[in-house]
Amino acid sequence: EVQVVESGGGLVQPGGSLRLSCAASGFTFSNYWMGWVRQAPGKGLEWVADIKHDGSEKTYLDSVEGRFSISRDNAKSSLYLQMNSLRAEDTAVYYCARDYGRSYDPWGQGTRVIVSS
C-alpha cells in the first residue's frame, strides 16, 4: 500500500522550532517529488514547500522562505520540514504528500502544529 505518515507536531512557543517528519512506504521514494501542505483551523489548503526527487531543487511559500527548510533522506524514504522562528499564523495541520502527475497523492493523516504561548 502506498502511504505516507507524518509525525513531529506539537505545541511550541512563538519563535520556537519544530521538525516534522514523514515516513513513506509502498513506492520508490527516490523517484518522486514530495511536498508539504498545511491547513489552518477552519481554513483551506495552503501549499508550503516542495522538493525534487534527488533534493536538488526546493521551492517554498513566500511567507515561510528563510524560516522553513524542506529536506529528504532517500535511503530512509523520509521527508522532513524544519520549521524555525514559528509564528502564531503557522498554526495548522501539516500534511505530507507525494507528487503524482503534478497533483498530490497520497496524503498523510497530518500532524498538528500549535504555535502559542
> Binding residue for other proteins (CB under 8 A) from 21, 27, 46, 91?
46
State the minimum distance, in angstroms, from the CB of residue 11 to other proteins: 20
Q: Is residue 116 classed as helix, strand or coil in its secondary structure?
A: coil
How many residues interact with other proteins (rule CB under 8 A)?
A: 21
Is residue 48 within 8 A of residue 106, CB to CB? The reply is: no
How far apart are alpha carbons 32 and 99 in whole angstroms?
Answer: 6
How far apart are alpha carbons 90 and 30 in whole angstroms?
Answer: 28
State the minimum distance, in angstroms, from the CB of residue 16 to other proteins: 25
78 to 117: interface string for other proteins, x by CB under 8 A: -----------------x----xxxxxxxxxxx-------
- By CB neighbour count within 10 A (0-12 exposed, 13-18 middle, 19+ buried), where does 39 fall? middle
Q: Which residues bind other proteins (CB under 8 A)?
A: 35, 44-47, 50, 59, 61-62, 95, 100-110
